[in-house]
Amino acid sequence: MINIGLKQIGINLAPYMYMYNEVFNKKKIRDPYLNIMSWAKSLPHNLVIKKKLQAENLFKKIGITFSVYNNFDNAERLIPFDMFPRIITKLEWLHIKEGVTQRALAINAFLRDIYNKGEIIKAKIIPEDLIYKNPAYEVKMIGLKVPNNIYSPIIGTDIIRTDAKSFKVLEDNCRTPSGVSYMIENREIMMRMFPELFHTLNIEPVDNYSAYLLDILKTLAPRKCGGDPNVVILSPGPLNSAYYEHSYLADTMGIELVQGSDLFVKDNVTYMRTTKGKQKVDIIYRRIDDDFIDPITFNKMSVIGVPGLFDSYRTGNVNICSAPGSGIADDKAIYSYMPDIIRFYLAQEAILPSIQTYKCSQKKDKEYVLKNLKKLVVKEVHGSGGYGMLIGNNASKAKINLFSNKIKNNPNNYIAQPILDLSTVPIFKNRDLSPRHVDLRPFTLVGNKKNKLVAGGLTRVALKEGSLVVNSSQGGGVKDTWVLRE
């Protein structure tokens, strides 16, 4: 827990003193980083600057950008890329892999249960209201047969490291997790700029992700599908912040990237408009939110959805991945029950622990939170992207008062967690290396009777000194992540 030196942020490395440094352990360089540290130290300063510029130009030329909402002047931004790689050993990776796979299976079992028999509620493991009164619970999904009972085939798990041995889960993302294209492009760019590193080190490849994804999606054909299923990606369009990723995935999977207006439903069958006339669509990997999928069934104002799509889904003519209503599984209020969920469905203990979470909906927790705001991170239950968040130690008095009132007025909307000592990895900063906080998001794929995971993930890094917020919308950057083969 950070309880030191925050006044010194921006002056020296004191804020990082107590945190786990992935490179140094007891002032010695850890084995997996030996090669890369000597490489980094051998790079002349002007070369670092030159390569950095080169990397930025590559990102720009390829068009790997993200959009920031409400920022019309500079609609396309580059995500800052740091060239110092983050390294994970084979053993560490096997542990992570086991942990995220376990979670992904439990989440799918949980979704199946709560939209059918609700046994976990009957067993009184999760309070009824937390499910049935949850805005993320989709009543239209009750009793509906989902192809092969897979609700959420793509799960991004946000993992933080707190010491040499512990990796913990910060958040599950099982609606439409993004960032996988950065995982792949970061590698591409590192390989183009520093090919010599890849000759000497034995690093697991990540570019097989798209092939895995297509393979997994194809196991999820709807009931009424003859032959090889036609898979498409449904995107809100080029203004969406993750549009590059949508087009990247479509391109590398060799499938169509569609928008709502490219699809239509006739007699409950979903078609896309092509130059040859209409063509049936079987599986939709949707990158738009539940609410916007179908203006007839959900949000009437949606112009990016497809009228009638939900009926097409309901009648087994098309599969929508992830299933509407999957979001309840990554709800922050459900998150605290994840160890129970894993135990209930898999009869196993959670391999990756969760972080202690105080639910303001519960009186005792609320009182604790209000008394200890300075020591906590407060999050909105349904928020994402690092918005609507309070990091107590760093916040102004006014902001603490604001959150204190918010919690009192609407306790159900907030949870709190201790401020964590996220591990650090260095970034290139001026003439030095300087430690920054990182997290890791691997992408687990769950299909019918098989699951897949590329050995790697997206490492996000908080570029601001001392900052714990890694979200790209809040000044975070990315790094290439290397899982070593041995």
122 interacts with another protein by CB under 8 A: no
Q: How far is the CB of 272 from another protein (least distance, A)?
A: 6
- The closest of 68, 106, 120, 136 to 381, measured between CA atoms, is 136
Helices (H) and strands (E) in the chain, counts: 14, 24
Stretch that binds another protein, among 98-106, 259-267, 312-320, 454-462 (CB under 8 A): 259-267
d(CA 164, CA 182): 26
262 binds another protein (CB under 8 A): yes
Structure tokens at 104: 């992904």
Per rule CB under 8 A, is residue 259 in the interface with another protein? Answer: yes
Task: Report the site for another protein in 45-74 (rule: CB under 8 A).
Answer: 60-63
Contacts of 289 (CB under 8 A, 6+ apart): 175, 176
Question: Residue 454: which of 70, 186, 116 has the closest Cα?
Answer: 186
What SS3 class is residue 67? strand
CB of 250 to another protein, least distance (A): 5
Tell me how far, at minimum, the Cβ of 69 lies from another protein, in Å: 18
Of 247 and 357, nearer to another protein (C-beta) is 247
In terms of CB distance, is 250 or 484 closer to another protein?
250
User: 254 is written with which tokens?
Assistant: 């060799």
CA–CA gap between residue 456 and residue 336 (Å, rounded): 26
Cis peptide before 336 (omega within 30 of 0): no
Q: How far is the CB of 314 from another protein (least distance, A)?
A: 24
217 forms part of the interface with another protein (CB under 8 A): no
Count of Cβ atoms closer than 10 Å to residue 194 Cβ: 16
Binder of another protein out of 3, 38, 71, 261 (CB under 8 A): 261
- If one counts every other C-beta atom within 10 angstroms of the C-beta of residue 257, the result is 19
Shortest Cβ distance from residue 199 to another protein (Å)? 25
141, 154, 234, 272: residue in contact with another protein (rule CB under 8 A) = 272
DSSP string, 130-162: HHHT-TT--GGGTT---GGG-S-SEEEEEEEE-
Cβ closest to another protein, residue 62 vs residue 402 = 62
Stretch that binds another protein, among 111-119, 208-216, 249-257, 336-344 (CB under 8 A): 249-257
Is 57 or 410 the residue whose CB approaches another protein more closely?
Answer: 57
Nearer to another protein, 62 or 91 (CB): 62
Tell which one of 31, 119, 163, 251 touches another protein (CB under 8 A): 251
> Which listed range, 117-125, 272-280, 367-375, 413-421, lies at the site for another protein (CB under 8 A)?
272-280
Binding status of residue 214 toward another protein by CB under 8 A: no
Q: Assess 278 for contact with another protein (CB under 8 A).
A: yes
> Does 258 participate in binding another protein (rule CB under 8 A)?
yes
SS3 state of residue 290? helix
Segment near another protein (CB under 8 A); pick from 143-151, 270-278, 294-302, 319-327: 270-278
Q: Which is nearer to another protein, 171 or 245 (CB)?
A: 245
Burial of 253 (0-12, 13-18, 19+ CB in 10 A): buried
CA distance 227 to 150: 20
Stretch that binds another protein, among 2-10, 116-124, 146-154, 245-253 (CB under 8 A): 245-253
Alpha-carbon distances, residue 339 vs 328, 345, 346 (angstroms): 16, 10, 10
Interacting stretch for another protein, rule CB under 8 A, among 24-32, 131-139, 187-195, 275-283?
Answer: 275-283
Q: How far is the CB of 62 from another protein (least distance, A)?
A: 7
Among 227, 277, 397, 486, binds another protein (CB under 8 A): 277
Nearer to another protein, 27 or 72 (CB): 72
Q: What are phi and psi of 299, to 5 degrees?
A: -65, 115
β 376-380/389-391 pair status: antiparallel
Q: Which residues contact 432 (CB under 8 A, 6 or more apart)?
A: none
SS (H, E, C) 382-436: CCCCCCCEEEHHHCCHHHHHHHHHHHHHCHHHEEEEECCCCCEEEEEECCEEEEE
Which of residues 10 and 277 has its CB atom nearest to another protein in the complex? 277
Where does this chain bind another protein (CB under 8 A)? Answer: 60-63, 237-238, 243, 247, 250-251, 256-259, 261-262, 272-278
